[in-house]
Amino acid sequence: MSEVQPAASDSPDPTAAAPASPPRVEPRPVTTVHHGRERTDDYDWLRAKDDPAVPAYLEAENEWTAARTAHLAGLRARIVDEIKSRTLETDLSVPTRVRGHWYYGRSFEGRQYGASCRVPVADPDDWTPPRPAADARPDEPALPGEEVLLDLDALAEGHDFFSLGGSSISPDDRLLAYAVDTVGDERYTVRVLDLDTRELLDDELTGVLGGVTWGDAPDHFYYSTVDDAWRPDKVWRHRLGTAQADDELILHEPDGRFFVGVGRTRSRRYVVAVAGSKTTSEYHLLDARDPDARPVLYAARTEGVEYSLEHVVIGGVDHFLVLHNAHGPEFELGIAPAEPTGVEGWRPLLPHDPAVRLEDVDGFADHVVVQQRSEGRTRVRVLTLGTSGDEPVADDRFVDFPGELASVGVGGNPAWEQPTVRVGMTSLARPSAVYDLDLRTDELHLRKQAPVLGGYDPDDYEEHRLWAPSTDGAQVPISLVVRKGVRVDGAPVPVHLYGYGAYEASMDPYFAVSRLSLLDRGAAFAIAHIRGGGEMGRHWYDDGKLAHKQHTFDDFVAAARHLVDAGWTTPERIVAEGGSAGGLLIGAVANQAPESFGGFVAGVPFVDVLTTMLDPTLPLTVTEYDEWGNPTDDPEAYDRIAAYAPYDNVADRPYPPILAETSLNDTRVLYVEPAKWVARLRERAPHADVLLRTEMAAGHGGVSGRYRAWEERAFTLAWILDRLGLADVEPLA
């Protein structure tokens, strides 16, 4: 008997007859025993990607999904057109200054990827980024003296998938090291381009995670590689003109819970090699000026203590700012000598405050920028450095923006000596804006508001912060946006509810052009800031992982029910969406509270969590023990995960329609997880309307290229609109 009974011919011919029924997979049961618990898995054989039956099954599911959604083809095309009509396709980012050049990215109408460029700095004393002429043509340089560093469309030519993992300019501004992935498995190849000759050097490094970090001279750089489980475990030093096999190992981390990484302080004084787990970190320093430097341990790891370092110079003396949680879960900022020291040498600069989560710190020549959050809101704080280590801070002020749902962050500040701080702001209704705070005058200058064409006005939309009581009394924040006038006399409206709830990742309010296709058809969009995320601080994260993971699911269901109780919507008009760990969320609540929702979208979903966490050879498993638990060694962890794992708890329930989306080359959440989940749903809940869509040339982030990404998102949005009863509604002007 064939393992896969396809719903239709394997032919991709669009004229072929539509399949009459969904594909079925023959079970191949395998029984395992852990801690005396017996578990039978019928579909784990689907992880054998090289078995011809597996891609045949995935293609059959794609055909079934295409047939079941064929009536939405016109809507998908309209959504793509709407996204396109609102997007300024030929554009450039706000230039960022590094040494003697301004660097920026360009996009071009009709091109998937764009280009990275630079122009020389005209006036060393002027930190105002250059702006293109209003009448600049797309086929001409955006700025005088423009140099195209990388034409990304040219690099992507001939590849179904393309991702730039990072690019880095050498200290003499003459060489460009860049990393590319043309498969989607996030294993990058590094090449070095001579910007004077436009010739590639012979150096070619494979199996690299992301980009590289240059030393103080343009003849060597540092990078990290991954092991067989896709864990970055080694940091290397490469000298130009030598083979990768001859590279020098700088740091090797044997503990499977730890990742390694490498970077350089903004002061350019140190190269830092970092080893970190979910709960513990350790920094090693190298003198960036010494091409033969060996790493020096700054503070030995202490289980449960996380810290990071920022180099500053106060009164001519080197110091490190240490952001750490040794004195409390919400972190404090300490100051310490440059010489290696332990926690006892970290003097409080911003002491621990249980109401304020200190998230990040950036050190500059004469100021420090801190990103923090409290009560679910983000803030940016600027400290002016003093003249001595005894009085390290001379001034302390905040950069605030109006609006309860304003999300504020810092980025694009690479220069040690810059007198400005670049700040970004967005919300559910307001497109992202880039500002420069001039520290000399305390003036905030708007450098760019992301353009939204077609007469978009954020004041046509209303934003709300709601609070939902969870099962244990915790108040769960919800951010919501809806077009004004849609909710007539308080009547219920369809709601697209999004959630994540893991890794202390904060799903702060953000703007998306594609979302307007939903809002303008009369739906509301909401984000449930559930436990497991970091929106309310580290304690919010701690209360949604390991033994407390059920809080994540309870919070999401509570958010949906609160939207109903508050009159915003009805259960059958809520479509919930989550991706990756958020896909686990969707799978869990689909089992636990299917009656509270009208549909589910699970993107690259982590739905077979128990199988994954039982196999330490799989990517990321061991590093995830601190997030989910170790079911191999701990029977309590086994039982806890088994109680909520979506795949293990599928039953004959009244599931609302489900759309699962995955990518064949995903290394973070393997395609087999949603494939098995859908197969079991078809077996145990035969009346459920379940669709599986697999991108056959993509990774964890989906397809590459902006036009393909628009088409992919349009597919999902069209399905959501159909479930919300809005597929035939014309968008408001």
DSSP letter at 556 equals H
Write the DSSP string, 16-27.
Answer: SPPPSS--EE--
598 in Cβ contact with 609 (< 8 Å):
no
Question: In sequence order, what are the residues at sequence separation of 6 or more whose Cβ sits closer than 8 angstroms to the Cβ of residue 403?
Answer: 427, 430, 463
Residue 580 a catalytic site member: yes
Q: Would you give the DSSP letter of residue 198? A: T
Of 362, 436, 554, 666, the catalytic one is 666
- Distance CA(220)–CA(677), nearest Å, equals 47
Which residues contact residue 74 at a Cβ distance below 8 angstroms, ignoring those fewer than 6 apart? none
Q: Counting Cβ atoms within 10 Å, is residue 92 exposed (0-12), middle (13-18) or buried (19+)?
A: buried
Name the token pair of 630: 């170790």
Q: Which residue among the candidates 101, 551, 562, 700 is catalytic per the annotation?
A: 700
Quote the tokens at residue 633: 């060694």
Q: Which residues contact 512 (CB under 8 A, 6 or more apart)?
A: none
Task: Mark whether 666 is an active-site residue.
Answer: yes
Q: Where are the alpha helices (DSSP H) in 29-185?
A: 53-68, 73-86, 152-156
What are 659's strand-pairing partners?
Answer: 601, 691
CA torsion through residues 437, 439, 442, 443, sign: negative
Which pair of tokens denotes residue 29? 């049961």
**CA 297, 165, 428: angle at the middle one, nearest 5?**
100
At position 316, the amino acid (one-letter code) is G
CB atoms within 10 A of CB 485: 10
Whole-Å CA distances, 587 to 42, 294, 523, 608: 18, 47, 23, 9
Residue type, position 299, single letter:
A
Catalytic residues: 580, 666, 700
